[in-house]
């Protein structure tokens, strides 16, 4: 992937600036395993995955990629990749098993060892406090629809930062609160599996509040130089046609998928069109004085997760859906073109649109692409090699989109590939593989895929070469 000089027709490599953060990312429940070791108690995902019919093939995260026991091997893999950053999540029920009370030292010891290993390898630790593993005891008390969960999360953030703050300089409060609220409490596709649209809207607000309170707790516990952030799976929303009906459908999805989080966090307000759209479900009286000011605590950058665009049209979508108040007004048409093993369209232009849109919406907020990647049907061949040219093509196109957005003024500071390892892919169990490192879940053997070698070459060169992917000869 190259830039073309219009005058000469020649091509030049796409270089990223010095200091650009090249990373990879994982999530605790997806890779750690050791679900009942060293005092860890069940999270909502443990309960959900052990509920018959919830997860494909009855899979659970009990062992996952066994990262808890193979952490040093996995850090060595990252060092071979040459990444500057590793974004991992801290398992709340490992650190504070009931969601209340003091920190559990054995749980924290694992993250001490992990961060020490990363620092020794020259890799910057980037800690995410919440990647969906709410302690089950807090869900039993009502979960995210209850205001108390925000208070508990702030205390957990404080406990974790007090112990790891001398090692970790970059912190993220929440990963993808849209998924936690709407897949967890509206459509029931994710843990805890509830289908309560009004409760999902309360959950979304309390997640925003939890973010703000956690920012306050982190600022109090960390040195002034520490970075504090939030990661959102923002939707690159496109109306199918320019018709008024399709544009209104896109507006509704933008409100629920984007502005419900961006407006409180960056502007201290709720989207009033969303309030009107959902008036049959709630009067939003759970939003108390001061909540939106708390949600708008300043952060140092915004993490952006992107996989595919969201094309919408006027119509209806099946219930239960993750779009409270919009079900009777929107549908999601299937468009032609290449798709990943998740059946998601491959469309790097959506990432460009998202980043340049944020340039305009939030002109003074630095951005990090904190997740981007693709699942394909990967297999180890008889020679012990995993050939994944489709993933390389996907990553190349999306990195080119990041570069183009930066050239047009988007303040993107880094790119974190999802994911380091094949893992427990939530409701899909072990059926979908996102990693650049193949994991044999029977033996836990790690095999770097061709895409791992390709990404290592991109990092070493600081960008994309004139000819595209590096050689991966047999």
Residues involved in catalysis:
176, 371
Instruction: Classify strands 227-232 and 301-305 as parallel, antiparallel or unpaired.
Output: parallel
Question: If we measure between CA atoms, which residue out of 22, 183, 157, 147 comes closest to residue 87?
Answer: 22
Contact 355, 10 (CB under 8 A): no
Bridge partners (DSSP) of residue 125 are 86
Q: Which residues contact 139 (CB under 8 A, 6 or more apart)?
A: 44, 47, 192
User: ω into residue 473 within 30 of 0, thus cis?
Assistant: no
Q: How far is residue 447's CA from residue 77's CA, in Å, rounded to a whole number? A: 10
Q: Which residues contact 7 (CB under 8 A, 6 or more apart)?
A: none
Q: How far is residue 77's CA from residue 291's CA, in Å, rounded to a whole number? A: 43
Question: If we measure between CA atoms, which residue out of 366, 396, 411, 391 comes closest to residue 14?
Answer: 396
């Amino acid at each position: 992937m190259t830039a073309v000089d219009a005058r000469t027709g020649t091509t030049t490599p796409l270089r990223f600036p010095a200091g650009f953060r090249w990373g990879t990312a994982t999530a605790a429940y997806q890779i750690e395993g050791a679900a009942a070791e060293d005092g860890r108690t069940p999270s909502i995902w443990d309960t959900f995955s052990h509920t018959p019919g919830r997860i494909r093939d009855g899979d659970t995260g009990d062992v996952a990629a066994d990262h808890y026991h193979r952490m040093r091997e996995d850090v060595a893999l990252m060092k071979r990749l040459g990444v500057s950053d590793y974004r991992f999540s801290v398992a709340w029920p490992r650190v504070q098993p009931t969601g209340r009370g003091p920190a559990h030292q054995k749980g924290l010891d694992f993250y001490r060892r992990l961060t020490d290993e990363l620092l020794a390898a020259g890799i910057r630790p980037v800690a995410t406090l919440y990647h969906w593993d709410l302690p089950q005891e807090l869900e039993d008390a009502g979960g995210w629809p209850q205001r108390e969960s925000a208070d508990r999360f702030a205390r957990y953030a404080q406990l974790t930062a007090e112990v790891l703050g001398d090692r970790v300089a970059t912190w993220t409060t929440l990963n993808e609160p849209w998924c936690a609220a709407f897949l967890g409490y509206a459509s029931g596709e994710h843990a805890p599996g509830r289908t309560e649209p009004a409760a999902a809207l309360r959950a979304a607000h309390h997640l925003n509040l939890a973010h703000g309170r956690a920012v306050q707790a982190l600022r109090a516990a960390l040195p002034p130089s520490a970075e504090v952030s939030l990661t959102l799976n923002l939707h690159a929303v496109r109306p199918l046609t320019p018709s008024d009906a399709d544009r209104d459908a896109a507006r509704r999805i933008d409100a629920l998928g984007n502005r419900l989080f961006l407006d409180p966090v960056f502007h201290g307000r709720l989207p009033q069109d969303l309030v009107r759209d959902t008036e049959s479900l709630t009067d939003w009286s759970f939003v108390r004085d001061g909540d939106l000011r708390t949600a708008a605590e300043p952060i140092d950058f915004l993490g952006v997760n992107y996989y595919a665009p969201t094309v919408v049209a006027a119509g209806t979508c099946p219930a239960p859906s993750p779009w409270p108040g919009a079900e009777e007004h929107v549908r999601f048409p299937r468009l032609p073109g290449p798709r990943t093993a998740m059946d998601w369209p491959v469309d790097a232009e959506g990432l460009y649109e998202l980043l340049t849109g944020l340039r305009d919406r939030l002109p003074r907020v630095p951005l990090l692409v904190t997740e981007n990647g693709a699942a394909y049907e990967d297999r180890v061949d008889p020679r012990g090699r995993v050939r994944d040219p489709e993933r390389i093509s996907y990553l190349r196109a999306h990195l080119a989109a990041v570069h183009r957005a930066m050239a047009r003024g988007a303040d993107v500071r880094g790119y974190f590939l999802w994911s380091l390892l094949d893992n427990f892919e939530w409701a899909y169990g072990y059926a979908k593989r996102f990693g650049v490192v193949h994991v044999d879940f029977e033996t836990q053997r790690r095999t770097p895929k061709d895409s791992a070698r390709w990404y290592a070459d991109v990092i070493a060169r600081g960008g994309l070469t004139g000819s595209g992917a590096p050689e991966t000869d047999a």
